[in-house]
Amino acid sequence: MQLQYSFIIPVYNRPEEVDELLNSFKGMTTNLEYEIVIVEDGSTQTSEAIIDKYQNNLNISYFFKENTGPGDSRNYGMQHAKGNYFIILDSDVILPENYLDAVDKSLKETYVDCFGGPDAAHESFSDLQKAINFAMTSFITTGGIRGNKNAVDKFQPRSFNMGLSKKAFQASKGFGQIHPGEDPDLSLRLWDLGFKTKLIPEAIVYHKRRISWSKFKQQVRKFGLVRPILNKWHPQTKKLTYWFPTVFIIGFDVSVILAILGFSWLLFLYILYFAIAFITAIYTTKSLKVSLMALWAICIQFLGYGLGFLESTVAIHILNKDPETHYPKLFFKLK
């Protein structure tokens, strides 16, 4: 099959991000033809002027629709795209010059109907962005599942950097209305339909994440809330490892109490863990400041996700609450 690529980019009030992303498209060295489909999801600050700036250099289709969330906007973009293989990006990423060639080479070697790629921190990113990137991608925190080909046997792509064939989109009907969590939900439904997924380690994007400490805490809490919902929808995917952040924070509280009572061995293990994380961060980021900030990011990540996961598990699996009714802010309504 001759692959014809369409990039699908939903955007909501982020014209500056669109400018940076489109500028990185201009820097790609590929000879492959592709189109860019930008879907404005009910923005009040549109990207129309930015897109006009690039129309003579890039093949861009621009759509404006009511605000129905990123999942539905991606579906809208794929419905209107001309290609037969869609590459879905967040608006806050920047592409390396070899991105599309890396994707094309991998798919021609081993074709799959859905792929994911890792994210990394660009040298131009702020210290906060680099610290959060470390917390989200390091083996010491997430097991490297966002970009380590040896960390997972079946990779669940994430929609900031994800490929999906037109065939798989039509069979699955695309993304659901939950957010976050719409991307693993799609991956799991694709598996049920018999489609295969894989990680393309070379298909890296620089994920900028315009975020603050408070927004990061809110984001990881939502990740924790969503996972028990996905476990309910797809019970075959339940894993003990999803409990790790919850056990981690409960264990830390216990370790402090034990240390007060004169038993310090458990607290020592936590100190050892953070020491290893700090050394790993130093090696990865080459920055003392970023490494110290990364330790704080790890604490926020475990606390937010762990408590969110515990809360949602009790509500969904013990009290049998309806996810959409109990957590309405995790679901977008179609208009």
Query: How does pLDDT run across 59-83, given as a tens digit for each residue?
Result: 999 999 999 999 999 999 999 999 9
Which residues partner with 164 through β-bridges? 86, 114
Domain range annotation of the chain:
5-117+157-211, 220-329
| 5-117+157-211 under CATH 3.90.550.10, yes or no | yes
Nearest to 34 by CA among 106, 79, 99, 108: 99
Gyration radius from the chain CA atoms:
20
Is residue 152's pLDDT more than 60?
no
Mean pLDDT of the chain: 93
Give the Å distances, CA to CA, from 64 to 17, 54, 69, 218.
17, 17, 13, 28
Burial letters 15-29, b for 16+ CB under 10 A, else e: bebbbbbbbbbeebe
What percentage of the chain reaches a pLDDT higher than 70? 96
DSSP β-ladder status, 161-165 and 119-120: unpaired
- pTM of whole model > 0.95? no
Burial of 295 (0-12, 13-18, 19+ CB in 10 A): middle
Total residues found in the chain within this entry: 335
SS3 at position 276: helix
Which pLDDT band holds residue 180 (cuts at 50, 70, 90)?
Answer: very high
Nearest to 62 by CA among 93, 41, 34, 88: 41
